[in-house]
Structures are given as structure tokens and as C-alpha cells.
Amino acid sequence: MAGSSEEAPDYGRGVVIMDDWPGYDLNLFTYPQHYYGDLEYVLIPHGIIVDRTERLAKDIMKDIGYCDIMILCVLKGGYKFCVDLLEHLKNISRNSDRFVSMKVDFIRLKSYKNDQSMGEMQIIGGNDLSTLAGKNVLIVEDVVGTGKTMRALLSSIEKYKPNMIKVASLLVKRTPRSDGFRPDYVGFEIPDLFVVGYALDYNEYFRDLNHICVINEHGKEKYQV
């Protein structure tokens, strides 16, 4: 409101989950029985993820302006978010007066072992990045932590001179190790916790969990490599 002394909310941060947020009791939800005893609590229920993703799709289409999009999905953790986001984008396109072409390619960025970042990024898979030249590129990622991994990926892509690059991340972690990078579209800003579910894994486990949850120490010990 003009002239108001109140600070306007920063929607660019997404849905902000504060450090003291206790989460939801696991007993309020259904989740795979083989993970009983491995989780602390539900941080973000599946239904809220779906609703937030739909809103991000609307924001993306509004900003890009119904231009053709090349979607670059970061595997493996980003695939569920990417599939749901793409479906919402297609629904918007179907209900508009202009067809929007959406093509998808996949890459993997290896940067974690157990719950620790290895500090170096490996790009695995994907077609020749030179095909991104002149394209409107939307990178879809699961989690941005320090930002170093995404900056390295952007640096690799920018060399091929795409028309535009936008980044959508389901989660952004508040961490003192952050280099300040912020995605263009953020689903949720969360505390510096190691989370699993909704295709986010711990050594390939928990991808079949629909909710985003905080893993406990027993779960880390059980599935460590």
C-alpha cells in the first residue's frame, strides 16, 4: 500500500519456513511403512507442494510471455517437481490462445555423498549444450543450498549464448555458506536442514515419499554408504 510504513512481503523468497517451525507430526499423514522410525517430522505436506507448484507455473508463464521454452531438468531430485511443474505449464498453454512449445532435456549434477556436499560439481548426461543457443531456457532444480553448483551450471550454459535463462527451484536453504545466489522462482525457503521426499533422496532412499520430511539420525545411519 502506498505510504504504508509496513515492509512489503518478499514473494521472491517463496513460502518462507522459519527456523523455529516445528513441522507436522508424522502421525497426521500417511507415508511408507518402511520409513517408520527414520524421520523427524513432515516439513512440507504433499498437497502444499502441489498448490505452490501451480502458482509458480502461472508466474513463469506470465514472465516468459508465452514464448517457447526449453526445460532443463536437474536429475534425480528435480524430476518430480519438473513433471508437476511441466503439467501445470501445459495446462496454462492449453487454456490460452497461443500454443507454447515445451521441450525437456535432463542432466545430473553430482555434489552430495551422504548428507555432505563434496564441494565439486559433476555434470552427467544431457544432450550437447550447444543446442541451447538462442533458446529460452528454464532450469528446474530441487534444492539450492550454497548456490555454487547452480552458478557453475549457469556458467557452462551461458557460454552457448541462450536467449534467456531462468531458474526455478522447489527449495532454497538458508545457510551461512550461501554465496548469495537466488533462483528466479522459488517454491519454499527452508532452514538449513537435510530433507528427503518428493524425489529428494538420501543415498537413493526416500524418493518414494510424497511429503518433504526431515530425516533423523537413525535414518542417516541406517542408509549411509
* Total count of domains within the chain: 1
Domain membership of residue 206 (yes or no) is: no
Q: In angstroms, rounded to a whole number, what is the distance separating the alpha carbons of residues 98 and 109?
A: 34
Contact partners, residue 152, CB within 8 Å, separation at least 6:
121
Domain that includes residue 56, residue range: 48-193
CATH number at residue 179: 3.40.50.2020
Residue 15: in which H helix or E strand, if any? strand 15-16
Beta bridge partners of 42: 24, 213
Rounded to an integer, what distance in angstroms lies between the CA atom of residue 222 and that of residue 220? 5
Question: Is 183 inside a domain boundary?
Answer: yes
Does 32 fall in a domain?
Answer: no
Contact between 133 and 160 (Cβ < 8 Å):
yes
Give domain status of residue 36, yes or no: no
Using the Cα atoms of residue 210, residue 213, residue 218 and residue 224 in order, give the sign of their dihedral: positive
213, part of any domain: no
pLDDT in tens, the chain (225 residues): 344 334 445 667 899 999 999 999 999 999 999 999 999 999 999 999 999 999 999 999 998 877 889 999 998 889 999 999 999 999 998 888 878 889 999 988 765 555 555 556 667 765 677 888 999 999 999 999 989 889 988 988 998 899 999 999 999 999 988 888 999 999 999 999 999 999 999 999 999 999 999 999 999 999 998
Residues 6 or more apart whose CB falls under 8 angstroms from that of 62 comprise none
Does 172 fall in a domain? yes
Kindly state whether residue 223 falls inside one of the protein's structural domains: no
**Sequence-distant (≥ 6) Cβ neighbours of residue 211 within 8 angstroms:** 29, 31, 42, 43, 44, 45, 46, 49, 197, 198
In a domain, 100, yes or no: yes
